[in-house]
Every structure is written in structure tokens, then in C-alpha cells.
Amino acid sequence: MTDVSKDTNQSAVGLPVPDFTVACTGGDFTLFAHRGQAVVLYFYPKDNTPGCTTQAQQFRDLYAEFIKAGCIVLGVSRDSLKSHENFKQKLGLPFELIADTEGTLCRMFDVIKNKMMYGKQVVGIERSTFLIDRGGILRHEWRKTKADGNAATVIDIVRDTLMTL
């Protein structure tokens, strides 16, 4: 599997996203099987943490708007399927969560970063969101995003982008 970004300093916006199949709540997810639909992938650090809960709830609350715009939403973290199932049920999430336990998709989208947490350097997911259009082209990326307000920012761009394609 190749990286979506050519290197860490150059955006891959406008380039095709390689096909992938990953473990997901509700069964495996294959990008190619969703051609004809836009896809939002939002990467988050960990289930059941305050910021990740806020972000998931906001995507949940705007989910009908994403569907109306012809776009599906998927959350991605390195948590297990069991953790994702519990998180999804607890919050009533209408979208699937990808269990990238090996970090394959995280590396593909270059979201694994060194971060400071409680004064210690750790390796983890940098909160990031990606919009892939109906033809599999990366149309927009948000890196180092904040949990609160991310879904609202993304739906605005989804509406504008998908209306012009």
C-alpha cells in the first residue's frame, strides 16, 4: 500500500487515493466498492476520550447532511473492533468505525506523529480528516484539526466541493 501523500511536505490533494480494504464495524470496508459516493475519513486518537467523543457526536449530529450531500463518513483509530463497537453503541453513531490496529491506513494517510502528552513524547494519531470524491480523488485534507467544530467545517466543504464536481 502506498502513501496518499508523496512525502510529508507535499499535499496529495488532487491525486487518486489507492484502493484499500480495512476491518470495520459492520464488516470490511473497501474504498473501491464505494466509487460513486464521496467518503470522509476522520482519524482520531482514541475511543471514549473527551475530544474524540465530541468529534464523533458532531459527525453523528450532521450525518444526515453528509448523506444528503452524497457522502459517507467513517471514523478511524487504532482501537480494536470491540472497542469501536462499544463506542459506536454508546454514542449512537450511525456511521462505521475503522479498526486500524496495525496502523496501515494511518501510515497511508501519514497521520502517525510524535506528540507530547502529559510532558512525555508518544507516538499517536494526529487528528486529521480527508475528503475523497466520488471518483476516488483526494479533494481536501484537514491536518492537526481540533475535535470541536471539525464536522461543521467538513460538511461546509463537502457541500461546496460536491456541488461543483
Q: What gap in Å lies between CA 64 and CA 45, rounded to an integer?
A: 24
Q: Is 146 helix (H, G, I), strand (E, B) or coil?
A: coil
In angstroms, rounded to a whole number, what is the distance separating the alpha carbons of residues 7 and 9?
6
Catalytic residue at 106?
no
Alpha helices in 21-101 (DSSP H): 50-68, 81-91
User: How far apart are the C-alpha atoms of 163 and 6, rounded to whole Å?
Assistant: 28
Q: How many CB atoms lie within 10 A of CB 83?
A: 17
Backbone angles phi, psi at 55, to 5 degrees: -60, -45
Question: Going along the chain, which residue ranges are E strands?
Answer: 21-22, 29-30, 38-43, 71-77, 96-99, 112-117, 120-125, 128-132, 138-142
Q: Which residues are catalytic?
A: 52
